[in-house]
């Protein structure tokens, strides 16, 4: 699977975990040079507290377009630390 934004492959992996229709990538499969930590947080009742990254490609910035759970509730341990994408980031086979 690939995560693509503005024509750039942000992540690519044969090892994603799909939860609620979202592909979660291992951090080692993500080109972290395109991601910058965000101060945004959200809470999921069964996964825990999500942290966000903004994506920058050239002059284009996609605020809070990637998220991850640094600590999870036990039901979501299989996605702890993995990164998922939204807000126009295309997930392609």
pLDDT, tens digit (0-9, with 9 covering 90-100), for 49-79: 999 999 999 999 999 999 999 999 999 999 9
Residue 60 CB burial class (10 angstroms; 0-12, 13-18, ≥19): exposed
Per-residue pLDDT band at 36 (split at 50, 70, 90): very high
Give the pLDDT band of residue 39 (cuts 50, 70, 90).
very high
The answer to whether the beta carbons of residues 47 and 68 sit under 8 Å apart is no
pLDDT at 83: 98
Q: Catalogue all structural domains in the chain, each as residue range(s) with its CATH number.
A: 2-92 (2.170.150.40)
- Which pLDDT band holds residue 13 (cuts at 50, 70, 90)? very high
């Amino acid at each position: 699977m690939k995560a693509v934004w503005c024509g750039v492959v942000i992540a690519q992996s044969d090892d994603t975990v799909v939860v609620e229709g979202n592909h979660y990538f291992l951090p080692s499969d993500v080109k972290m040079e395109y991601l910058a930590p965000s101060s945004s947080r959200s809470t999921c009742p069964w996964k825990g507290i999500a942290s966000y990254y903004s994506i920058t490609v050239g002059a284009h910035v996609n605020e809070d377009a990637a998220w991850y759970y640094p600590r999870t509730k036990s039901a979501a341990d299989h996605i702890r630390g993995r990164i998922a994408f939204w807000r126009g980031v295309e997930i392609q086979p």
